[in-house]
Amino acid sequence: MKLSNEKFEQVIGSDLERDGMYLEIADVKNSADAYLEIFYSDITHKFSLTLFKEDIDLEPIEEAIEIAKHRLVPIS
């Protein structure tokens, strides 16, 4: 994903401990440097957003939300 002249990597995974799926957006230069996580709970069927940095541009957040809506919700 490239937004605002910055490159981000997306990691989608399953979290058995929290019983759900997550989308993490990180800096391509340093994948350990996560910007945000969107988590979908299989228990509550709701999304939550966690920001790991301050002053994140809105554009990557909006893009991540759209990706999460399509990729994290289980197909019924």
Cα 40 to Cα 24: distance, rounded to the nearest angstrom: 12
Mean pLDDT across 22-50: 89
Residue 62 has pLDDT above 90, yes or no: yes
Burial 2-38 (b: 16+ CB within 10 A, else e): ebeeeebeeeeeeeeeeebbbbbbbeeeeeeebbbbb
In the chain, domain spans: 2-71
Residue 13 has pLDDT above 90, yes or no: yes
- Rounded to two decimals, the pTM is 0.84
* Residue 22, SS3 per DSSP: strand
CA triple 7-12-61, angle to 5 deg:
50
Structure tokens belonging to residue 14: 């399953």
> What pLDDT is recorded for position 32?
67
